[in-house]
Amino acid sequence: MPIPVREKLPTRIDNLVIQITDDGSRTLMQNDTNDGFHSGCGALTETRDVYLKNSGVDERLRQNIPTRVFEVGLGTGMAMLVTLDAATRYATPLQYVAVERDWPPADILGQLQPQTWIEHDNLADAYLAFRKTVEQSREHQVESWSPSSDHLVTIHHCDWSKWNDRDNEPFDAIYFDPFAPASNPELWSENVFRQMHTLLTCGGKFVTYCVNRVVRDTLTNVGFDVRRVPGPTGGKREVLIATKRETQGTD
């Protein structure tokens, strides 16, 4: 089936355009590489299925289990807002840590209409206001945003290679959402996957959209149980869940 022609809108940054995806939600694309921040088949659908649902985070929050999430590739902040929205709905404590090298500015994020992604649209307004306050002059910024006493978002505005875990508390889930291996190969390496394995609690899940055979084999080699599951309706046929084995201690 040919890829449909999807509407694109300009931004003030030459290399970034807004794409209207098939479920009506907006995402960003890079002009020079044609890399999308989300699936053109439906950015919001992909985010809810591949990350919030497949990671088990939605179910944990529903059961009022305090949860820690780590995201590689914050991008538009969609996964963070969708997760925070669920934590707010279920009144469950959430700590969310993300790494992003190229954090889009607030005015461009606002053009994506993030209020339409979530039930508690005031969270999107608060996030945009927070983003406006953040300077972009330092090489490695760590910014914290606490929309409520039970919810804390920490964003490391830096290259992945500059990030380090400061509190050593394990995560219950990892949303792995950098650009594809062909565009960003250094983040799909065995070394990075070993670090992901170390960051997870036993039984924790690493979830991503990529089911590349090399990626699956490398995740298996570093100690994950890897499986492919059906992708979101209208999107990729399969996506990936990698689970840290319960029988293993910390690395």
DSSP 233-251: TTS-SEEEEEEE-TT----
One-letter amino acid of 153: V
Handedness of CA 242, 245, 249, 251 (dihedral sign): negative
Per-residue pLDDT in tens (0 to 9) along the chain, 251 residues: 567 889 999 999 999 999 999 999 999 999 888 899 999 999 999 999 999 999 999 999 999 999 999 999 999 999 999 999 999 999 999 999 999 999 999 999 999 999 999 999 999 999 999 999 987 656 678 999 999 999 999 999 988 888 876 667 999 999 999 999 999 999 999 999 999 999 999 999 999 999 999 999 999 999 999 999 999 988 889 999 999 998 644 44
Give the whole-angstrom CA distance, residue 169 versus residue 199.
8
Domains of the chain by start residue, with CATH: 42-244 (3.40.50.150)
| Inter-residue contact 27 to 37 (CB < 8 Å) | yes
Give the whole-angstrom CA distance, residue 121 versus residue 127.
10
